[in-house]
Chain A
Amino acid sequence: MINGVKKVATFLFIFIIVAISVVPFLWVLMASFKGNGDIMSSVAGFPNGLRFSNYQTAFKLAPLVTFYKNSVIVSLLSTALNLIVFSMAAYVVVRCRFRFKKPIIIAFSLALIIPGAALLQPLYNTLTRTHLYDTLTGLIIVYAGLGMPTTFYIMMSYFKTIPYTLEEAAYIDGAGFFRTFVQIILPLARPAFATAGVLQFLFCWNEFQFALTLTGDKMNRTLPIALYYFKSSFASDYGAMFAATVLVTIPSIIIYMLMQKQIISGLVSGSVKG
């Protein structure tokens, strides 16, 4: 009897958890294929076939192609910059002894606990003064910086697992510091790069508040801002709004499905160290 109750409770709990996670997305996905009339009249019903007219409208109403392009550029370049710069820093911090090592580690880890909102105005000000406001370059640099703590920790903990003898052997063979890093360490650290890279890419792809604050012109905005656009300017064309939501969401979900293992191991190592 008690066992039965426990089974039912477990089933219900898990059912609700899955439903609240998946239903909103599936519902919007379905609605994105419905005509405006259907959206109002058959709210929970299935769409009649795959009509892409909402997607066409979405692309007409907002400069989605530009937003998409910007998102891809910003996410890719910022991820590259973030990985290169902070893997180098992490390598030096793990392998070398130098005077400012402790302060650098402490300063980098303190960055982790700074709430993003606190940085909005200062960064807006810095970017305006350096003429990087409303540029993709500005966003790329800011994102690379904001993603630093996670990348830095993932890289540090991975570099620590690489035996030093490999580098010693390289030095004896006459390779310099830089060559050893590029030819020995980088290939070995590929899994760590994958993990940190996916996390950084997803962060850039999904980021909203800095994109909204640090860009102003339509031509320099990223995909999540498109949704804000639809919410305020085209609030009556629900079909297009649903289509835009799907367009923002799908890439994240696909990347997640493909790279689940890396994402999870990254989140685990990143948060535990933090």
Chain B
Amino acid sequence: MRKKNKWISIFLLPGVSIFIFVFMLSILMLVGTSFANWTIGSKITFAGFSNYSTLFTEDPAFIKSMMNTGIWIALQATIHIAIGVLLALLLAKQKWYTSFVRTAFFIPNIISSAALGMLFLSILNPQFGLVNNVMTKLLGEPFVQNWFMDPKTSFFSVTMTWLPYAGLVTILVMAEMASIPKEVYEAASIDGATSMQTDLFVVLPMMKNIIGTATILAATSMLQKLDIIMMTTGGGPGVRTMNMPMYLYRTALTDNNYGLANAQGVILIFLGLLTLITIRKIFKMDQED
């Protein structure tokens, strides 16, 4: 038995070490220094809640970044899920194009978001971009729109770089639908339900948990969106497309205000938890299992 205990320790040690190095140290540091004044080169001094009060009372850019993040979470949790679920329902009827569409739709999820940002930067480019060019041909007169830099369109343009790509939702829902027994569909059709009624009143309610999970993933992914914003607008023009990760990056690695940045990190984690709990409540996910 002692020998087995030795092996247990040996097997756990590397994993736990990496976990401590990457997560535990980070989170301790994050929470600790969020209550400190700490800028580059300066000594760390205790500051109480001053970082938090600065963020919420004297920092309009942070408030804006929170609002944008909130709007994007809401969009992601509704439109994204709607697109993903609708496509899953359509593809579940197994047509000849099912696997092609599923594969194609997932491609944007599989490539680097830096590359995705670059793709959008190119197709929305004011000089040689595909969109402006097609618009010019359709209208018959020069169509000029600097999509990412014009304050009127920048928010919309950034949103378009991820909102349509609900491939993960589609895959999760399709996987869950595959486990519905045939008898369920047969029973519904015997009862005289049309295929749309079956989808709405039989299939969807059975998908409640997986749609909840997908909503959590979609919503919390908005607390991670940094790369594509860095590639496209950097949060600008002004702070129009600023979100929390981008603002945190700027505070930490451009302004080198580590204390303030880490207070933002704590708020970010807190919002993640809040989103998770709220969505679980909405979908009543904690009542089962």
Residue ID in chain B nearest A265 by CB atoms: B175
Q: Decide if A91 touches B26 in the complex (CB within 8 Å).
A: no
Confirm or deny: A56 has a beta carbon within 8 angstroms of a beta carbon on chain B. no
A residues 89-118 in Cβ contact with B at 8 Å: 89, 91-92, 96, 98, 104, 107-108, 111, 113-118
**Distance of B97 from chain A, by nearest CB (Å):** 7
Q: Which of B22, B83, B97, B130 sits near A119, CB closer than 8 Å?
A: B22
Please, how many angstroms separate the alpha-carbon atoms of A91 and B14 in the complex? 13
Supposing A113-B220, A252-B112 touch, asked if A121 and B261 sit within 8 A by C-beta, the answer is yes
Supposing A18-B104, A267-B168, A268-B175 touch, asked if A44 and B133 sit within 8 A by C-beta, the answer is yes
Supposing A24-B123, A115-B269, A272-B210 touch, asked if A249 and B111 sit within 8 A by C-beta, the answer is yes
Binary flags per residue of A176-220, CB closer than 8 Å to B gives 1, else 0: 111001000000000000000000001001111100110000000
Interface size class of B (residues with CB under 8 A): 35 or more
Confirm or deny: B27 has a beta carbon within 8 angstroms of a beta carbon on chain A. yes
Please, how many angstroms separate the alpha-carbon atoms of A228 and B230 in the complex? 8
**Distance of B257 from chain A, by nearest CB (Å):** 10
Confirm or deny: B282 has a beta carbon within 8 angstroms of a beta carbon on chain A. no
Interface size class of A (residues with CB under 8 A): 35 or more
**Distance of A123 from chain B, by nearest CB (Å):** 6
A residues 45-94 in Cβ contact with B at 8 Å: 81, 84-86, 88-89, 91-92
Q: Decide if A272 touches B213 in the complex (CB within 8 Å).
A: yes
Confirm or deny: B206 has a beta carbon within 8 angstroms of a beta carbon on chain A. no
Q: Which residues of A contact B204 (CB under 8 A)?
A: none
Please, how many angstroms separate the alpha-carbon atoms of A229 and B108 in the complex? 21
Q: Decide if B113 touches A256 in the complex (CB within 8 Å).
A: no
Q: Which residues of A contact B25 (CB under 8 A)?
A: 122, 126
Q: Decide if B269 touches A114 in the complex (CB within 8 Å).
A: yes
Confirm or deny: A1 has a beta carbon within 8 angstroms of a beta carbon on chain B. no
Please, how many angstroms separate the alpha-carbon atoms of A113 and B261 in the complex? 19
Please, how many angstroms separate the alpha-carbon atoms of A23 and B108 in the complex? 11
Q: Which residues of B contact A121 (CB under 8 A)?
A: 30, 248, 252-253, 258, 261-262, 265
Q: Decide if A114 touches B11 in the complex (CB within 8 Å).
A: no
Confirm or deny: A245 has a beta carbon within 8 angstroms of a beta carbon on chain B. yes
Confirm or deny: B190 has a beta carbon within 8 angstroms of a beta carbon on chain A. no
Confirm or deny: A233 has a beta carbon within 8 angstroms of a beta carbon on chain B. no
Please, how many angstroms separate the alpha-carbon atoms of A237 and B120 in the complex? 17
Please, how many angstroms separate the alpha-carbon atoms of A271 and B115 in the complex? 24
Q: Decide if B115 touches A122 in the complex (CB within 8 Å).
A: no
Confirm or deny: A124 has a beta carbon within 8 angstroms of a beta carbon on chain B. yes
Q: Which residues of B contact A225 (CB under 8 A)?
A: 114
Q: Which residues of A contact B29 (CB under 8 A)?
A: 122, 125-126
Residue ID in chain B nearest A18 by CB atoms: B104
**Distance of B211 from chain A, by nearest CB (Å):** 12
Please, how many angstroms separate the alpha-carbon atoms of A274 and B285 in the complex? 13
Q: Decide if A117 touches B130 in the complex (CB within 8 Å).
A: no
Please, how many angstroms separate the alpha-carbon atoms of A98 and B16 in the complex? 14
A residues 25-44 in Cβ contact with B at 8 Å: 25, 27-28, 31, 39-40, 43-44
Q: Which residues of A contact B111 (CB under 8 A)?
A: 25, 206, 248-249, 252-253
Binary flags per residue of B79-102, CB closer than 8 Å to A gives 1, else 0: 000010011001000000100110
Supposing A44-B133, A118-B268, A231-B118 touch, asked if A148 and B19 sit within 8 A by C-beta, the answer is yes
Q: Which of A17, A115, A271 sits near B245, CB closer than 8 Å?
A: A115
Confirm or deny: A8 has a beta carbon within 8 angstroms of a beta carbon on chain B. no
User: Main SS of the interface on chain A?
Assistant: helix
Q: Decide if A145 touches B269 in the complex (CB within 8 Å).
A: no
Q: Decide if B12 touches A104 in the complex (CB within 8 Å).
A: yes
Q: Decide if B262 touches A208 in the complex (CB within 8 Å).
A: no
Q: Decide if B107 touches A88 in the complex (CB within 8 Å).
A: no
**Distance of B247 from chain A, by nearest CB (Å):** 9
Confirm or deny: B244 has a beta carbon within 8 angstroms of a beta carbon on chain A. yes
Q: Decide if A27 touches B123 in the complex (CB within 8 Å).
A: yes
Q: Footprint of A on B, CB under 8 Å?
A: 3-5, 7-8, 11-12, 14-16, 18-19, 21-27, 29-30, 83, 86-87, 90, 97, 100-101, 103-108, 110-115, 117-123, 127-130, 133-134, 164-165, 167-168, 171-172, 175, 210, 213-214, 217, 220, 223-224, 226-227, 230-231, 244-245, 248-249, 252-253, 258, 261-262, 264-266, 268-269, 272-273, 276
Counting from the closest, the 10 A-B pairs by CB-CB distance are A145-B22, A89-B15, A117-B245, A118-B265, A122-B26, A206-B112, A208-B227, A43-B133, A224-B114, A121-B252
Add 18 more A-B contacts to A177-B7, A209-B227 (CB < 8 A): A13-B90, A17-B83, A18-B101, A20-B164, A21-B108, A108-B19, A111-B19, A113-B273, A115-B272, A116-B224, A117-B223, A119-B26, A122-B265, A207-B112, A224-B114, A228-B231, A248-B111, A264-B171
8 pairs of residues in contact across A and B, judged by CB atoms under 8 Å: A24-B122, A28-B119, A107-B24, A113-B220, A115-B269, A118-B265, A122-B30, A207-B112
